[in-house]
Amino acid sequence: MNTKIPTVNTERLILREFKEADSPCMHKNWFSDIECSKYTNMKPMSDDEGCWKFINFMETLYDEGLFLWAICLKENNEPIGMICFELSDDTEISFIVGSEFKNCGYATESLSAILQFCTEKLDLKYVWGYHFAENISAGKVMKKAGMKYARSEISRNNFFDKDMTIDVYEYGEICEV
């Protein structure tokens, strides 16, 4: 368990550290979802174990400044997505919510809470994120959370697939301190 990943509560959500027991929900709610993977750098996972291996890999990056939260419904503590950022001079934030839970405001609610966390707890001055050009709803989430469109580009340096080329739109948030 990583003590630097605090629990963040919102009106309807709990943003918390992942637990191994979350694997079946992770797999069901977004890791096996073809619609979700279409706008990420990953292919759908075939089983619960693959989900937990991914989380374990991501947790190895905690010492390098990665913050990773499960986005959970308060009503049942079930993970419906995840949100993360890497703490660096160039802090990038990313999020995903399962298709079944889209258009409910959960992504905006979690992104807003984490941007507030970045400002109030970490004293960050700027946070940025990008989305695939075709994923218009992600841009809407970023705008609703207060991020501003910065630029579009073709990205060729993909974390999971170095040969992948994608058109992306970048958004940024200047954090008021």
CA distance linking residue 150 with residue 139, whole number of Å: 11
Does the pLDDT value for residue 1 go beyond 50?
no
Residue 114 near residue 69, CB atoms below 8 Å: yes
Mean pLDDT of the chain: 81
pLDDT at 2: 46
- The pLDDT tens digits for 40-98 are 666 777 777 777 887 888 778 777 888 889 999 999 999 999 998 888 777 888 898 99
pLDDT at 8: 96
Does the pLDDT value for residue 169 go beyond 80?
no
Q: What is the pTM of this model?
A: 0.84
Radius of gyration over every alpha carbon of the chain, rounded to an integer in angstroms: 15
| Residue 154: half-sphere exposure toward Cβ, Cα within 13 Å | 3
pLDDT at 114: 93
Quickly count: other Cβ atoms within 10 Å of residue 10's Cβ. 16
pLDDT at 126: 82
Residue of 158, 94, 168 whose CA lies nearest to 128: 94
Q: Which of 59-73, 140-154, 157-171 has the highest mean pLDDT?
A: 59-73
Residue of 116, 99, 96, 118 whose CA lies nearest to 107: 96
CA distance linking residue 98 with residue 107, whole number of Å: 10
Residue whose structure tokens are 């946070």: 127
User: What's the rounded mean pLDDT across residues 148-175?
Assistant: 59
- The pLDDT tens digits for 73-85 are 999 999 999 998 8
DSSP type of residue 62: G
DSSP type of residue 153: E
Quickly count: other Cβ atoms within 10 Å of residue 49's Cβ. 11
CA distance linking residue 39 with residue 13, whole number of Å: 23
- The pLDDT tens digits for 95-117 are 989 999 999 999 999 999 999 99
3-class secondary-structure state, position 80: strand
Percent of the chain with pLDDT over 90: 27
Amino acid at 53: K
Domains and CATH numbers, the chain: 8-174 (3.40.630.30)
